[in-house]
């Protein structure tokens, strides 16, 4: 059984209703560009201003967010099995604090873009593995997009794709587990 389970946030634990197309439009980011990476190469002042604007958009989305069905009971169950729980997200720390506070989620370790290079850079996994003293195969990463699975594989951890009831459309994607919903999680922790 896994000793640690790390979740992506948006689209995995919470339906945050973030529309990246709208965000790009609002911040003047060309379609198809990665938001954080685009902002990172802007002049310092412009970058700071746009990151602040992005954070406001994310905080507003967090206020309107909903947890996916079954998340809280699952987290409680995993906690009762003494499995460490983490969040690894491209979102910022203030948003994670707001969401974990709003839904009273107990998470042992959170890694956000404020802590280091954002996903899909796999460096953030080092923090989970070192803090919890785990080997890669003892850690499961649950995410909702291709880049999550790819990032987990690069870090040498096990991966699960949360599909929210959909079937996998990308055949290159070979997660260790596929989760339709959180009442369908038990096959991952047998
Ligand atoms: Mg996501």
pLDDT at 189: 82
CA 160–ligand 1 middle distance (angstroms): 12
Residue closest to 93 by CA, chosen among 64, 114, 119: 114
**Distance between Cα 3 and ligand 1 center (Å):** 22
Q: CA-to-CA distance for 8 and 46, rounded, in angstroms?
A: 28
User: Is pLDDT above 90 for 170?
Assistant: no
Sign of CA dihedral 78, 106, 35, 42: negative
In this structure, is the dihedral angle defined by the CA atoms of residues 155, 34, 48 and 67, taken in order, positive or negative?
negative
Indicate the SS3 state at residue 14. Answer: strand
Reported as a single tens digit per residue, the pLDDT across 95-143 is 999 999 999 999 999 999 999 999 999 999 999 999 999 999 999 999 9
Cα 49 to ligand 1 centre (Å):
24
Q: What percent of the chain has pLDDT over 90?
A: 86
Of all residues in the chain, what percent carry a pLDDT higher than 70? Answer: 99
pTM of the prediction? 0.94
Position 77 confidence tier, pLDDT thresholds 50, 70, 90 = very high
Tokens at 49, concatenated: 């201003």
Residue 190: pLDDT above 80?
no
Expressed in angstroms and rounded, the spacing between residue 89 Cα and the centre of ligand 1 is 8
- Please tell me the distance between residue 144's alpha carbon and the centre of ligand 1 in angstroms: 5
CA of 46 to the centre of ligand 1 (A): 26
Q: What per-residue confidence (pLDDT) applies to 17?
A: 80
Where b means 16+ CB within 10 Å and e means fewer, 109-125 reads bbbbbeeeebbbebebb
Domains and CATH numbers, the chain: 4-15+66-188 (3.40.50.1000), 20-63 (1.10.260)
Centroid of chain to Cα 158: 15
Strand boundaries in 65-169, DSSP class E? 66-67, 84-88, 109-111, 139-143, 158-162
Cα of 91 vs centre of ligand 1, distance in Å, is 9
Structure tokens that stand for 23 in this block: 């965000």
- Over residues 13-53, the pLDDT tens digits come to 999 888 889 999 999 999 999 999 999 999 999 999 999 99
Please tell me the distance between residue 93's alpha carbon and the centre of ligand 1 in angstroms: 15
Cβ 172 vs Cβ 140: under 8 Å = no
State the distance from the centre of ligand 1 to the C-alpha of 147, rounded, in angstroms.
Answer: 9
Cβ contact 50:39 at 8 Å? yes
């Amino acid at each position: 059984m896994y000793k640690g389970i790390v979740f992506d946030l948006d689209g995995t634990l919470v339906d945050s209703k973030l529309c990246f197309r709208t965000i790009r439009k609002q911040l003047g980011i060309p379609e198809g560009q990665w938001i954080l990476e685009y902002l990172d190469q802007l002049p310092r002042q412009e970058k700071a201003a746009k990151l602040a604007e992005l954070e406001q958009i994310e905080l507003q989305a967090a206020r309107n967010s909903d947890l996916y069905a079954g998340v809280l009971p699952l987290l409680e169950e995993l906690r009762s099995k003494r499995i460490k729980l983490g969040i690894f997200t491209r979102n910022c720390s203030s948003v994670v604090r707001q969401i974990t506070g709003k839904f009273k989620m107990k998470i042992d370790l959170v890694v956000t873009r404020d802590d280091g290079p954002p996903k899909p850079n796999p460096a953030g996994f080092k923090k989970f593995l070192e803090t919890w003293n785990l080997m890669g195969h003892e850690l499961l990463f649950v995410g909702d997009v291709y880049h999550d699975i790819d990032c987990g594989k690069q870090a040498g951890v096990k991966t699960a794709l949360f599909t929210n009831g959909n079937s996998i459309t990308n055949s290159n994607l070979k997660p260790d587990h596929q989760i339709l919903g959180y009442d369908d999680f038990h096959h991952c922790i047998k």
